[in-house]
Amino acid sequence: MARSIGMAADASVFRAVITITDRDGTETTKHEGPYGSIGAARARVTFWTNYLAELDEETFKPTGRSRACGYVEEGSVSWQPA
């Protein structure tokens, strides 16, 4: 997906680091971003946590657990001609 992030040359960028645990116990880590704000990266962590929330088998209501968790990393970018 193309992104348009207008920012100063020395501005910080953010990415979401999400760890997903498959039903067989295998863990996969994925990175999403870069984003121009910490809030946008946090929103992706929240999305995956909610999307992979574990549901009670009888009531289908969330149990408070999820197969996804994550955090946000901050970095800087060095731009140069490609």
Domain chopping of the chain, boundaries: 12-76
Residue 2 has pLDDT above 70, yes or no: no
DSSP 3: -
- The one-letter amino acid code at 20 reads I
Q: How far apart are CA 66 and CA 71, in angstroms?
A: 14
What pTM value is reported for the model? 0.81
* Digit-coded pLDDT (tens) for 20-78: 999 899 999 999 999 989 999 999 999 999 999 998 889 988 898 999 999 999 998 87
Q: Report pLDDT for 41.
A: 96
Q: Report pLDDT for 56.
A: 87
Residue 7 has pLDDT above 80, yes or no: no
